[in-house]
Amino acid sequence: MSAPRRDLKWWGWGDPAIEPELDAEAVAMLSERVGELTASPRACELEGFELPDPQALPAAVTDAVEPGGVFTSTEDRVRHATGRGYPDLTRLRSGRLPAAPDAVLLPADAGEVRRVLAACAAEGVAVVPFGGGTSVVGGIEPLRGSHERLISLDLARLQDVEVDRRSLTARLGAGLRGPEAESALSSHGMTLGHFPQSFEYATIGGFAATRSAGQASSGYGRFDELVDAVRVIAPAGDLRTIDTPHTAAGPSLRELVVGSEGVFGVIPEVTVRVRPAPEVRRYEGWIAESFEAGAEIVRALAQGPGLPAVIRVSDEEETQVSLGLSGLRGIAGKLFGGYLGLRRRRKGCLIVVGFEGDEESVARGRALAVRELRRGGAAYLGRKAGRSWERARFEGPYLRDTLMGMGALVETLETSHTWSRLGGVKEAVGSAIRESLAAQGTPGIVLCHLSHAYADGASLYFTFIAAARHGEEIAQWDAVKRSASEAIVASGATITHHHAVGRDHAPYMEAEVGQAGLDVLQAVKERLDPTAIMNPGKLLPSRNAATLRN
């Protein structure tokens, strides 16, 4: 790989060849719920894209990578200037960005990463580590802090793989995307089991830097739970932890690096815990009478016999809308309609349950899960409904581009709390989103599902859709995001279960960790990154106006 990747739509999500359309029935369902939408096509192709002129970089910085490793084309700068949250996509579609990196550097190995950071520290050039660019919280936004110049450090060439079958661990380069890591592991009969919805484009380094959680986290663990050892190359030197299943040697430095979002330095590789690839994967659909009944089933499993690899409960609105918008309408929709008709009910909540492992463990896990599902009043929809969810599990984000083109605001956010407080959080956050949208004259719909469950609680994932206010999309989004974030913080829930902090959640970090917690993180940053070149304006709240979103 001698050039940055260009296989993700530069203006949206996924394979450029795939642009799904909604059929008339789906469009009608949407208009009924959010009102008429006014189409909002993309402003231009890449040729017409407007970017600020790049600043020249010191030779010490550009010479730190091998010749041919520095890229300054409009396309490369655009591709490294934003993540994939709603404001990012809105700006990309507008054909104009207020800020972009001055250049993209593509180091060949960890040695070059070290040289680049040393040169940038000496010359005062800000560095944004770049994995797959899938951040939805402004994590790779080109904020310069107190520096004049900024590079995006694209880690795609860090592709090493070394598997230790006996210990069930693997050392994986930071630049491997989800499918690349899985394919390398599957040639050894292994899997990592980490399948976030951004799996196709996000990287191992990004997963570690953001404490990512995949859809099968109940079975395989979140990414932070899969990390055995990690290293960070910081401007002031390397910090590493040793490969060990556990250590009592003081507070965990592994945990300090995992989730550091590029503000301490660059994670060049991660040693992860892997599993034998499952012999059997069985996905099923169930239907609960209500969201609360579904949540109680998940709680009973988490606190009792244990959770399947995947378990998620959609609320009534999410069930209805996702059946209406997606290909699920055909298969699961019929089953679902049949079920409701039989019981003379209008609504129900979809539960997706996925079991993975060998024949015996799947059969045992399923028997225990089925007992709790039935005890909780859920009805079996069948394997087709589960399989269609599984097949479509990475397709949702493609639809977001379609909806934005139709003139919709579409965004997601997530949090988690303990079981006792989960219902209250759902109510508070859902109301905050609805009220903020209505106050702006664009009443919308709020969908929610429960996933990533634990014995003590679970995460809630919200999606909201409304008519976009043309020309004011980012202000509209900002108002809703702020209301939702304030509701989350007021409920005592976490500002993020897995999307990370980035720029968008940094103002809420004090509520999360307290002033002393912020001071500790700041002190670590000052030790590892004394000239504050690493990813300015992310993770830690900044009072520096230069780091605010443009």
Ligand X SMILES: Cc1cc2nc3c(=O)[nH]c(=O)nc-3n(C[C@H](O)[C@H](O)[C@H](O)COP(=O)(O)OP(=O)(O)OC[C@H]3O[C@@H](n4cnc5c(N)ncnc54)[C@H](O)[C@@H]3O)c2cc1C
Positions annotated as catalytic residues are: 461
Q: Whole-angstrom Cα distance, residue 489 to residue 505?
A: 11
Contact mark string toward ligand X, 143..162, x via CB under 6 A:
------------x-------
Among 102, 182, 224, 261, binds ligand X (CB under 6 A): 261
* 212 contacts ligand X (rule: CB under 6 A): yes
329's enclosing H/E stretch is helix 328-342
Strands 275-276 and 190-191: antiparallel
Q: Whole-angstrom Cα distance, residue 276 to residue 523?
A: 41
* 209 contacts ligand X (rule: CB under 6 A): yes
Q: Whole-angstrom Cα distance, residue 148 to residue 53?
A: 13
Q: Beta-carbon neighbour count of residue 427 at 10 Å?
A: 12
Q: How far is CA 250 from the centre of its chain?
A: 30
Q: Smallest distance from the beta carbon of 140 to ligand X, in angstroms?
A: 5
Taking each helix axis as running N to C, give the angle between helix 383-391 and helix 328-342, from 0 to 180 degrees, rounded to the nearest 10: 150
Nearest to 433 by CA among 420, 424, 442: 442
Among 139, 145, 365, 407, binds ligand X (CB under 6 A): 139
Closest CB to ligand X among residues 355, 394: 394
Among 37, 103, 266, 484, binds ligand X (CB under 6 A): 266
Q: Whole-angstrom Cα distance, residue 534 to residue 63?
A: 19
Interface with ligand X by CB under 6 A: which range of 198-206, 319-327, 428-436, 440-448? 198-206
* 193 contacts ligand X (rule: CB under 6 A): no
Asked if 550 and 82 count as a contact pair (C-beta separation under 8 A), the reply is no
Among 197, 290, 303, 431, binds ligand X (CB under 6 A): 197
Taking each helix axis as running N to C, give the angle between helix 291-303 and helix 419-439, from 0 to 180 degrees, rounded to the nearest 10: 150
Q: Smallest distance from the beta carbon of 153 to ligand X, in angstroms?
A: 8
* 202 contacts ligand X (rule: CB under 6 A): yes
Q: Smallest distance from the beta carbon of 503 to ligand X, in angstroms?
A: 9
Closest CB to ligand X among residues 258, 373: 258
What's the full length of the chain, in residues?
550
Q: Smallest distance from the beta carbon of 190 to ligand X, in angstroms?
A: 20
Q: Which token pair is 257?
A: 């690096």
Chain position carrying tokens 């192709």: 45
DSSP conformational letter for 507: G
* 203 contacts ligand X (rule: CB under 6 A): yes
Closest CB to ligand X among residues 191, 203: 203
Closest CB to ligand X among residues 128, 467: 128
DSSP per-residue letters across 431-467: HHHHHHHHHTT---EEEEEEEEE-SSEEEEEEEEEEE
Closest CB to ligand X among residues 214, 278: 214
Q: Smallest distance from the beta carbon of 174 to ligand X, in angstroms?
A: 4
* 140 contacts ligand X (rule: CB under 6 A): yes
Q: Smallest distance from the beta carbon of 335 to ligand X, in angstroms?
A: 26
Q: Is 505 helix (H, G, I), strand (E, B) or coil?
A: coil
* 218 contacts ligand X (rule: CB under 6 A): no
Work out the angle at residue 192's Cα, subtended by the Cα atoms of residues 276 and 182, and round it to the nearest 5 degrees.
Answer: 95
Q: Which token pair is 237?
A: 């030197």
Contact mark string toward ligand X, 377..406, x via CB under 6 A:
--------------------x---------
Among 12, 87, 107, 132, binds ligand X (CB under 6 A): 132
Task: Determine the size of the site formed for ligand X (CB under 6 A).
Answer: 39
Contact mark string toward ligand X, 499..538, x via CB under 6 A:
xx-x--------------------------------x--x
Burial 300-316 (b: 16+ CB within 10 A, else e): bbbeeeebbbbbbbbbb
Q: Whole-angstrom Cα distance, residue 370 to residue 297?
A: 10
Contact mark string toward ligand X, 454..493, x via CB under 6 A:
----------------------------------------
Instruction: Give the binding site for ligand X (CB under 6 A).
Output: 13, 83-84, 128-136, 139-140, 155, 174, 196-198, 202-203, 205-207, 209-210, 212-213, 261-262, 266-267, 397, 498-500, 502, 535, 538
